Amino acid sequence: MSYRSRARLRQNRKQASIEILESRTLLAQIAGHVFFDPNGNGVQDPGENGVAFQTQTIFLDQNDNGVVDPGEKSTSVDPFGDYAFSGLAAGTYRVRLEQDPGYLRTSPATDSKQITVTASQNAAGPVFGLTQRAMIDGFTYNDANHNGKQDPSEPLLPNSIVYLDQNNNGKIDSTTTSFSSTNVPKSAVGFSTVASNLTVSGFTGLITDVNVTVNISSPNANDPQVYLEDPQGIRVLLVTPSDTANQDTRSNFWWMGKRISISSR
């Protein structure tokens, strides 16, 4: 008797599942600030806070035409003066301020800034300062051909002095103001150091000349060393031990960008 056996091959089949994830793009952000600049100096001083300028619009001016076109992202500032553009793809954007006619921009120098961001970057946008003060601005240049207009080859003239000639006399008028130390005289005994503070305040306009008079009495043939020092520590040597005691010495110095005439006794 014969038997036929059949072997059954059992296969264990494992099912593998594949999940297809959607393509994801890491997005960037550009954030900045707007502040009210009442003194119009272009700097956010202590006490000058960001405020909500309800009529100020900040937008991404992709075609750089100065107006908000359909499709261009725009935003306003929050109650603290902050603004942000989020969800941006990596690329280059021009952030521009469309300001209200009731304000003038004090900073930055232009009303827009080009910013390049990478994926997931939080980039700093421009800080805009706005004031309601009246402003006059312009530039000076070398009019080499005397034709009254700036030609392409005529450069700007940096460090030029421009002033408001209130009495129309064609020159910068000046006034002389004197300040005296309030904590003098001072005695220096032996090898010691003493200081006298001179407070100067209340100036407006351009300072063209500074004159300092120092009165020194010394019984020795060698006078002490005397310095003029500003609050930042910049100092000018006025008198050295080589000066003869009780004798006038007069010199001119440059200090803080100004010429100083020194008279020491």
The pLDDT tens digits of the residues spanning 161-194 come to 888 888 888 887 777 777 777 777 777 777 777 7
Q: Cis (ω within 30 of 0) for the bond into 185?
A: yes
pLDDT of amino acid 207: 66
Residue in 57, 197, 28 with CA at minimum distance from that of residue 121: 28
Domains and their CATH numbers in the chain: 28-131 (2.60.40.10), 172-265 (no CATH)
One-letter amino acid at 197 equals N
For residue 189, give the amino acid letter.
Answer: V
Return d(Cα 130, Cα 218) in angstroms, integer: 56
What's the confidence (pLDDT) of residue 14? 53
Q: Rounded to whole angstroms, how far apart are CA atoms 117 and 123? A: 7
Task: Tally Cβ neighbours within 10 Å of residue 168.
Answer: 5
Bridge partners (DSSP) listed for residue 95: 60, 113
Model pLDDT, residue 241: 60
Whole-prediction pTM: 0.49
Q: CB-based contacts of 232: which residues, under 8 Å, 6+ apart?
A: none
**CB distance 116 to 91 below 8 Å:** yes
DSSP string, 11-30: --PPP-----PPP----EEE
Low-confidence ranges of the chain (pLDDT < 50): 1-3, 5-7, 9, 243-265
